Amino acid sequence: MTISKRLEEARQAYERKDKQGSALAHSPERIQMAPEEHSPASSQYIGSMIYGGLDGIITTFAVVSGVVGAQLDAGIILILGAANLLGDGFSMATGAFLSSKSEQEYYDRERERETWEVEEFPEGEKLELYEIYRRQGYSEEDAAAMVEIKTRDKERWVDAMMLEELGMVKSDLNPLREALVTFGSFVVAGVIPLLFYLLDLFLDFGLSTGTAFGISTALSGLALFGLGASKVFVTQRSPLRSGMEMLLVGGLAAAVAYGVGALLKGLGV
């Protein structure tokens, strides 16, 4: 899926309620140029990068909070944190790969079926498409005209059946690349709650457990807010609101983990 520069101009004009800017984005020149203006391939994976990073920070900081709540050694934090980074990160990446691959395989299988039905039962498929357009509120004349136009070319016909009948659009994402992006963002962002403990391992700052945890909390909070705010690239929402939401979610997860750790410590575990 590509996003043209014209579309971004239209979005910005809408946010400002700028009618002149919107008119410019919808000018014949801009519309004709739009198909040649594609976003970089990396932008297709922004969602995987952001959500992988958010999950990495939240789960790792939850591990840190649980260990601190149980009053265990800093070495335990690094052991469990590293295990979470690699284990959970690999699990997420595998899930992203299998999910994306399964969706593409399902789409291809359904497209093969629709192609066969178009070839073998064209009149029945035309009637299906006609009834779909009628249910969408088109008049008999308009629905018939749309069917006639869509069915002139077999590929466009199958595309129409996939979208209108099944609600399916082919994804351009590469499953392996999506998995690698998810894993990389999970690990890079997830190491932030462990960063001070890693530095302390080699530099021996000699700080108390509470101070070390406070620094880890501050770093994790800043990272959570930053990544939450960056969701604006996907959701088009307020960066401040998105950042605060993720900070709240991460804080609640950490509080629960800390409480569980403290409870187990109290039980003698």
Query: Residues 34, 136: one domain?
Result: no
How many angstroms from the chain centroid is the CA of residue 170? 17
Query: Residues 3, 75: one domain?
Result: no
Question: pTM of the entire structure?
Answer: 0.73
pLDDT tens, position by position, 224-234: 888 878 776 66
Query: Residues 29, 74: one domain?
Result: no
Query: Residues 221, 103: one domain?
Result: yes
| Secondary structure tally for the chain: helices H, strands E | 13, 0
**What's residue 180's pLDDT?**
93
Query: Residues 173, 211: one domain?
Result: yes
The Cα 151–Cα 161 span in angstroms is: 10
Query: Residues 58, 13: one domain?
Result: no
Query: Residues 169, 212: one domain?
Result: yes
- What are the φ and ψ backbone dihedral angles of 45, each rounded to 5 degrees? -110, 15
Residue 65, C-beta contacts closer than 8 angstroms, at least 6 positions apart: 213, 254, 255, 257, 258, 261
Asked if residue 49 lies in contact with residue 177, where contact means CB atoms within 8 angstroms, the answer is no
Least confident window among 20-29, 56-65, 142-151, 190-199: 20-29
The Cα 183–Cα 169 span in angstroms is: 26
Pick the more confident residue, 236 or 201: 201
Look-up of token digits 């994402």: 173
Query: Residues 30, 115: one domain?
Result: no
Query: Residues 210, 181: one domain?
Result: yes
What domain range is 9 assigned to?
1-39
Query: Residues 17, 88: one domain?
Result: no
**What's residue 33's pLDDT?**
63
Count of CA atoms in the C-beta half-sphere (13 A) of 233: 16
pLDDT tens, position by position, 42-69: 456 777 888 888 888 888 988 888 888 8
Query: Residues 97, 157: one domain?
Result: yes
> Could you tell me the two tokens for 196?
């001070």
**What's residue 244's pLDDT?**
86
pLDDT tens, position by position, 73-125: 888 999 999 999 999 999 999 998 999 899 999 999 999 998 998 888 889 88
Share of the chain above pLDDT 90, in %: 26
3-state secondary structure of 139: coil
Query: Residues 160, 237: one domain?
Result: yes
The Cα 244–Cα 14 span in angstroms is: 24
Domain total for the chain? 2
**What's residue 31's pLDDT?**
61
Q: Is the dihedral of CA 124, 130, 132, 134 positive or negative?
A: negative
The Cα 183–Cα 88 span in angstroms is: 9
